[in-house]
Amino acid sequence: MTAELPADLRAGLETEAARAPEERLAQSVSRLIEAYRSGKPASVPILTSSTDVLAYAAYRMPATFAAVRAALGQIAGAYSDFSPRSHLDIGGGTGAAVWAAADAYPGLSDISVRDQVADALTFGARLTGKANNPALRKAMWDQWHASTSAGLPRADLVTVSYVLGELPAQAQAALLAQVIPAAAGLLLVIEPGTPAGYERVLRARQAMLDLGLTIVAPCPHQNACPLSTTPGDWCHFAARVNRSAVHRRLKNAQLGHEDEKFSFIAGAPSPTLQQPGGRVLRHPQFRKGMVTMQLCRAAGDVQLQIISKKEGTLYRAARDVEWGDAWPPPGA
Ligand SMILES: C[S@@+](CC[C@H](N)C(=O)[O-])C[C@H]1O[C@@H](n2cnc3c(N)ncnc32)[C@H](O)[C@@H]1O
């Protein structure tokens, strides 16, 4: 799916990016790409200056926004009753997840972001200060470190977006132990769609199950992940992001878009679910008169499903199916 940035977020990012010389931003982008690619937990914050924060916002925030927005789309399909009023974004950085949640849930009125990096919070607050949505404009931005022992306030929606990978394994477990009880309605944990990101998501999934949450998405079941025993395979999805001109220049990229790969897990304390029969795990293959899709199924297994032209209405629906969609479509 393509997740379009809200116009006010796009405009805000462009205005902000114009504040610093592009050469300095591009240097920061190169350093940040290196740091995130290394996949090592960070012993000190990766965002070390206001230029880093600006660079992160310009080249990563559109992608993390798109990933969170796509995950919330899957969640809405399985848990349509969920309409949060409060949102707590942990390790929220410049606030991509609060923009995505506000886009998905217009009823949000009480939004709070916590992060260790003061510059990221200041930047995020400046950006939401110009948002069209009044709930975003009055969001709270608080400096906070994951090692803090004080409990977190409860919120209907809690998000932990692209954070676990910056923490050592023990600190990841400790953070999950804090955020799971804080999620009054739903907890979303999202990571890069790499094998390592998927491993962290698997551990988060197990922690959610151990503490009594029900898995809402992407899995259409509560069993062990069938891909965890498939060598070389891992559960992940892709969200298409249209790149702005400055985004392209900072990444020295030619294409007008990029596909952000992400892995995620969402759990809820007591949801009323409409879980699908299956979830499409890869780009479906379209051949003449035939659509082939790899499905994670409610039975807890993975199977190839072929829908042929003979299946009429179902085939017509299959021609529109995308990676990450529920299958069969509701009502089919
Ligand atoms: C890759 S950024 C993700 C930012 C944002 N959630 C997003 O999706 O764009 C990781 C964020 O986690 C924060 N973070 C990492 N370790 C942290 C810790 N121990 N305590 C608080 N925040 C932390 C960083 O400061 C950074 O803003």
Tokens of 276: 């699908």
Closest to 275 (Cα-Cα) out of 330, 205, 198, 238: 330
Tokens of 318: 């299959």
| Cα 116 to ligand 1 centroid, rounded to whole Å | 7
Residue 161 in contact with ligand 1 by CB distance below 6 A: yes
Q: Residues 93-108: pLDDT tens digits? A: 999 999 999 999 999 9
Choosing from 13, 52, 163 the residue with most ligand 1 atoms within 8 A of its CB, the one to mutate for a pocket test is 163
Q: Residues 200-218: pLDDT tens digits? A: 999 999 999 999 999 999 9
Specify the ligand 1 atom closest to the Cα of 36.
1
Strand 214-217 relative to strand 257-268, pairing:
antiparallel
Q: 43 pLDDT exceeds 80?
A: no
Residue 97 in contact with ligand 1 by CB distance below 6 A: yes
Name the residue with higher pLDDT: 137 or 256. Answer: 137
- Residues comprising the chain, all counted: 332
Segments in 153-211 forming alpha helices (H): 169-182, 195-210
How large is the average pLDDT for residues 32-39? Answer: 84
- As a whole number of angstroms, the distance between CA 121 and CA 21 comes to 21
Q: 303 pLDDT exceeds 90?
A: yes
Say which residues have a Cβ less than 8 Å from residue 143's Cβ, sequence separation at least 6: 114, 115, 116, 117, 118, 121
- As a whole number of angstroms, the distance between CA 185 and CA 75 comes to 12
7 CB burial (10 A radius; 0-12, 13-18, 19+): exposed
Please say whether the dihedral angle defined by the alpha carbons of residues 79, 209, 284 and 276, taken in this order, is positive or negative.
negative
Residue 116 in contact with ligand 1 by CB distance below 6 A: yes
Pair 90, 120: CB distance under 8 Å = no
Specify the ligand 1 atom closest to the Cα of 67.
8
Residue 168 in contact with ligand 1 by CB distance below 6 A: no
Q: 149 pLDDT exceeds 80?
A: no
Say which residues have a Cβ less than 8 Å from residue 194's Cβ, sequence separation at least 6: 39, 234, 236, 261, 263
- As a whole number of angstroms, the distance between CA 32 and CA 271 comes to 38
At 138 the pLDDT is 98
At 25 the pLDDT is 87
How large is the average pLDDT for residues 58-72? Answer: 96
How large is the average pLDDT for residues 83-87? Answer: 98
Segments in the chain forming alpha helices (H): 7-17, 22-38, 50-59, 61-78, 96-104, 118-128, 134-137, 169-182, 195-210, 245-250, 313-318
Residue 52 in contact with ligand 1 by CB distance below 6 A: no
Q: What is the CATH number of domain 7-268?
A: 3.40.50.150
Specify the ligand 1 atom closest to the Cα of 68.
8
| Cα 231 to ligand 1 centroid, rounded to whole Å | 30
Pair 104, 132: CB distance under 8 Å = no
Choosing from 90, 116, 200 the residue with most ligand 1 atoms within 8 A of its CB, the one to mutate for a pocket test is 116
At 41 the pLDDT is 78
Q: Where are the domains of the chain?
A: 7-268, 278-327
> Which residue, judged by its Cα, is nearest atom 27 of ligand 1?
93
Q: Residues 124-133: pLDDT tens digits? A: 999 999 999 9
> Which residue, judged by its Cα, is nearest atom 14 of ligand 1?
91
| Residue 247 pLDDT class (50, 70, 90 cuts) | confident
Residue 146 in contact with ligand 1 by CB distance below 6 A: yes
At 82 the pLDDT is 97
Residue 166 in contact with ligand 1 by CB distance below 6 A: yes
Residue 160 in contact with ligand 1 by CB distance below 6 A: no
Query: Alpha carbon 312 to chain centroid distance?
Result: 35
